[in-house]
Amino acid sequence: MNNSKQLRMTVYTSLFVAFIAIGAFIAIPVGPVPIVLQNMFVLLAAIILGPTWGLACVAIYLLIGLAGLPVFSGGGAGIGKLFGPTGGYLLGYLPAVFVTASISKGLGKKMSSDIIAMVIGSLIIYAAGVPWLKVVTSMTYEKALAVGMYPFLIGDILKIIAAAFIAKTLRPVIKL
Amino acid sequence: MANLTPFTYRQGQSILHLLDVRCKFFMICLVSMSMLSAHLFACFFYFLILLFFFKKSGLNFFATMTSIKYFILLLFFIFIARALTVKGDILFSFYGMTITEQGLTEGFVVAFKFFLVMLTGLVFSSTTQPSSVKSAVQWFLKPIPFVLEKRVAVMISLALGFMPIIASQAQKISDAQKARCGDLQSNPVKKIIHLVLPLLRKTFLSADSLVLAMESRCYSDDRIDPAFMSSGKEIYFLAGSVVLSLSLVCL
Amino acid sequence: MPKNIIDIKSICHTFSDGYVGIQNISVSISQGEFIILAGKNGSGKTTFLRHLNGLLLPDSGQIIVNGHDVSKHLIQTRKTVGMVFQDADTQIVGDTVFDEVAFGLENLKVKRQKINEKVSLILKDLNLFHLKNRSPFTLSGGEKRKLAIAGILVMNPELIMFDEPFSNLDHPGTIQVLSTIIDLNRSGHTIIIATHDVETIICEATRIIIMKDGRIKEDGNPLDIINRLESYGVREPCSSKLGLGIKPYG
Ligand SMILES: Nc1ncnc2c1ncn2[C@@H]1O[C@H](COP(=O)(O)OP(=O)(O)OP(=O)(O)O)[C@@H](O)[C@H]1O
Ligand SMILES: [Mg+2]
């Protein structure tokens, strides 16, 4: 039976790898900056799969992108993308998914704790992405924040609210 | 993912298509790393070699350039940012901004190197089957302790399989909602939920039946290793890439 | 007298939410039979089939496959009893048609060369060989269903169960899959098909089992049972309604 549970987690984790990859391509038109769903799927993977499987999920996603399969945003792949200007956000998914999952698990998988966990997770992604963007392009910090963070904040808040609701509805259905 | 990206595998019989995927991986790592410290002139030399293989593997250079135009735009942006910020001999200045000679060269070198690494990856991706990529990942992970490389390989296959399913489901769901005037919905949170929740529900159900199908077919982590296909010319390519990266570093 | 592949002794299964899936089922299945398992939606067909290869284990009672208790010999059972699932899309594991068929053998750690031989043979048998490098998701509905059959067949099962093999198929697709199943039966495989539409296959069947509310209500020769089908929510074939008996499909 334990074996069966492992297999189920294996398949669910692969499913989230696919969602994170597809998430780079699903955009919902709201206002001037369309909302891209990728980071929401990273956060959802965290609060649904838990720390270990969540981390495995993001690691595998980055691995297949690094290995050259077109799963990064804009259909990109390879070292060039992972260590390119926007690579910091991608690498930031790793600590973000782990911390988010741990907080959500530690606080007891309630809607409120999920929201706190995801807010912290999002901040970690920016903490990795923005300095990276600054170094690679040698912009000033004000500039990097203006291009790489501020325009997305409203979308992020909307995504976190939606994700908290989705997780709440989904958890009883998939009985993890 | 649903539609063809420049990084999608294209069938073919060129030497790059036939080369052992592990060899290709090794070459990419070597060349990309030596590129970091390479001189501009050496980079141009490598660019010519890349162009040759572009042609050889049946890719259209100009069509590819148009399909990665946003990336090129980003590189241009990096170029400008460098040119404006690096200190040195001032070429000209306007509105309080200065452009330096050092800035221009450095900006160009950085952008050009990014471009080359990207292009290398693109040639690799478009000549290598996803399943070979998966096998190679498994092979490279094998010596790393605590990593269940066989399970990782199966997960990669599963994820690649789920992608087209998710993409087509997403299309169906959004069409069905348009049919019921869902696009009039202006609450963005609801918009996200109405798309993502059915998508997750539906795909988790199919994931459940996939689990059963895998169990019926005796799935276990203890599976046999993948087979690799070789062209017999790997040794020349390896030697060639070592020479190339040495000259990139030393020139 | 052909040997019994499966002996089922009064099995029951209650789901974790308290719903009774099947109750008190006892049947024997012997080699070479072609069985239709009919019944309306929710009558317990899928639940029953999942017991035959150990995907679900009974709460009480016993299932014996080739003399072995299923719960103690899962791998052995799954090699003997293959299952083709309702939705062909969701059972694909491989990146290419070839890899998809090879999956089961890779799990059993068969030698690579042997795998290549067997997979090629099966693909040729089912007329799928020309598609071997294609992505499974790009196949037509009928081809996908045949691919799912190939993936099971390669493990050389004695009995193959099909859950709704004709759902979502167009007419040519149905004919394709039907003739594949008939060939399998002729070459000695025992077949069980779960369906609520018996018209397509009734002509080939040697036995019909009808389920309702998780129990077996009828079990016998198609000719004897065909007129009573509709009382269990299963549509009677047109030819039979018109008094013409059983006619082949197509
Ligand atoms: N995991 C489960 N937990 C609770 N109830 C279940 C579960 N799986 C199935 N059931 C219930 O058991 C009953 C029998 O289901 P089953 O899938 O075996 O029917 P079926 O005859 O295959 O129907 P169909 O023709 O729709 O495929 C259904 O009412 C279903 O709701
Ligand atoms: Mg069913």
With contacts defined as CB-CB under 8 Å, which chain B residues touch A75? 1, 5-8
- Pick from C15, C86, C166 the residue to mutate for probing ligand 1's pocket: most ligand atoms within 8 Å of its CB: C15
Answer yes or no: is B186 within a domain. yes
Residue range C41-69: mean pLDDT, rounded: 93
Print pLDDT tens along chain A (176 aa): 467 888 999 999 999 999 999 998 887 777 666 788 999 999 999 999 999 999 999 999 999 998 888 888 766 777 777 888 888 999 999 999 999 999 999 988 789 999 999 999 999 999 999 999 888 888 888 888 988 899 899 999 999 999 999 999 988 877 77
Going by C-alpha positions, the residue among C190, B119, B250 that lies closest to residue A78 is B119
The Cα–Cα gap between A103 and C216 comes to 51
Nearest-by-CA chain B residue for C101: B217
Bridge-partner residues for C193, per DSSP? Answer: C36, C162
Domain range for residue B85?
15-250
C53 lines ligand 1 (CB under 6 A): no
Nearest-by-CA chain B residue for C97: B131
Give, in degrees to the nearest 5, the angle at Cα A131 between A129 and A137: 95
**Which two tokens mark A48?**
């649904």
Give the count of domains, chain B: 1
Calculate how close chain C gets to B222, using CA atoms only, in Å. 7
CATH 3.40.50.300 for domain C4-241, yes or no, is yes
Strands C34-38 and C207-212, bridge-based pairing: parallel
The Cα–Cα gap between C81 and C225 comes to 27
Consecutive H or E run containing C61: strand C60-65
Nearest-by-CA chain C residue for B154: C93
What is the distance in A from the centroid of ligand 1 to the CA of C48?
A: 10
Residue A89, SS3 per DSSP: helix
- HSE at residue B182, side-chain half, CA atoms within 13 A, is 18
Nearest-by-CA chain B residue for A81: B118
Consecutive H or E run containing C208: strand C207-212
* Amino acid identity at A18: A
C57 lines ligand 1 (CB under 6 A): no
Other Cβ atoms less than 10 A from the Cβ of B159: the count is 28
Nearest to A12 among B120, B166, B207 (CB): B207
Q: What is the interface pTM, i.e. ipTM, of the complex?
A: 0.92
Query: Considering only CA atoms, which residue is closest to atom 27 of ligand 1?
Result: C41
C13 lines ligand 1 (CB under 6 A): no
The Cα–Cα gap between A121 and A134 comes to 20
Task: Tell me the backbone φ, ψ of residue C90, rounded to 5 degrees.
Answer: -85, 5
With contacts defined as CB-CB under 8 Å, which chain C residues touch B210? 90-91, 93
Report chain B's mean pLDDT, rounded to a whole number: 84
C47 lines ligand 1 (CB under 6 A): yes
- Contact between C87 and B220 using a beta-carbon 8 Å cutoff: no
What is the distance in A from the centroid of ligand 1 to the CA of C156?
A: 29
pLDDT the model gives residue A2: 61
Which of B166, B216, B219, B225 to mutate to probe the C interface, most C CBs <10 Å? B216
Say yes or no to pLDDT of B3 above 60.
no
pLDDT the model gives residue A40: 95
With contacts defined as CB-CB under 8 Å, which chain C residues touch B130? 95
Which of C15, C76, C81, C90 to mutate to probe the B interface, most B CBs <10 Å? C90
With contacts defined as CB-CB under 8 Å, which chain B residues touch A11? 158, 207, 210-211, 214
pLDDT tens profile B137-166: 999 998 988 888 999 999 998 998 888 888
- Contact between B155 and A169 using a beta-carbon 8 Å cutoff: no
pLDDT tens profile B4-58: 677 778 778 888 888 898 999 888 888 888 887 788 888 888 899 989 988 888 8
Bridge-partner residues for A28, per DSSP? Answer: A35
What is the distance in A from the centroid of ligand 2 to the CA of C163?
A: 6
Answer yes or no: is B85 within a domain. yes
pLDDT tens profile B210-232: 898 898 888 888 888 888 888 88
Fold category of A3-174 in CATH: Arp2/3 complex 21 kDa subunit ARPC3 (1.10.1760)
pLDDT tens profile B178-208: 777 766 777 888 888 988 999 999 899 888 8
Task: Tell me the backbone φ, ψ of residue B136, rounded to 5 degrees.
Answer: -65, -40
C18 lines ligand 1 (CB under 6 A): no
The Cα–Cα gap between A38 and A49 comes to 16
Nearest to A80 among B118, B137, B214 (CB): B118
The Cα–Cα gap between C223 and C35 comes to 13
Say yes or no to pLDDT of C50 above 90.
yes
CB distance C14 to C59 below 8 Å? yes
Neighbours of C, requiring at least 3 CB pairs below 8 Å, are B
**Least distant ligand from the CA of C25:** 1
pLDDT the model gives residue A31: 65
Residue range C205-211: mean pLDDT, rounded: 94
- Pick from C14, C19, C22, C161 the residue to mutate for probing ligand 1's pocket: most ligand atoms within 8 Å of its CB: C19
pLDDT the model gives residue C31: 94
The Cα–Cα gap between B27 and B29 comes to 5
Residue B62 exposed, middle or buried by CB count within 10 Å (0-12, 13-18, 19+):
exposed
Per-residue 3-state assignment (H helix, E strand, C coil) for chain B: CCCCCCCCCCCCCCHHHHCCHHHHHHHHHHHHHHHHCCCHHHHHHHHHHHHHHHHHCCCCHHHHHHHCHHHHHHHHHHHHHHHHHCCCCEEEEECCEEEEHHHHHHHHHHHHHHHHHHHHHHHHHHHCCHHHHHHHHHHHHCCCCCCCHHHHHHHHHHHHHHHHHHHHHHHHHHHHHHHCCHHHCCCHHHHHHHHHHHHHHHHHHHHHHHHHHHHHCCCCCCCCCCCCCCCCCHHHHHHHHHHHHHHHHHC
With contacts defined as CB-CB under 8 Å, which chain B residues touch C93? 154, 157-158, 161, 210, 213-214, 217
Atom of ligand 1 nearest to the CA of C44: 18
Q: Which residues have C-beta under 5 Å from ligand 2, the single-atom ion? A: C 46
Does the model's pTM come out above 0.90? Answer: no
Calculate how close chain A gets to B226, using CA atoms only, in Å. 17
Residue range C43-62: mean pLDDT, rounded: 93
Q: Could you tell me if A110 lies within 8 Å of chain B, comparing CB atoms?
A: no
In chain A, domain spans:
3-174
Atom of ligand 1 nearest to the CA of C164: 27
**Which two tokens mark B230?**
């070789």
The Cα–Cα gap between C90 and A12 comes to 13
Listed range (B86-95, B103-112, C131-140, C181-190) with the worst mean pLDDT: B86-95
- Contact between A162 and B189 using a beta-carbon 8 Å cutoff: yes
- Contact between C106 and B130 using a beta-carbon 8 Å cutoff: no
CB distance C100 to C92 below 8 Å? yes
Intra-chain end-to-end CA distance of chain B, in Å: 40
**Which two tokens mark C52?**
């035959």
Atom of ligand 1 nearest to the CA of C49: 18
- Contact between C96 and B158 using a beta-carbon 8 Å cutoff: no
C91 lines ligand 1 (CB under 6 A): no
- Contact between A162 and B81 using a beta-carbon 8 Å cutoff: no
* Amino acid identity at C113: Q
In chain C, domain spans:
4-241
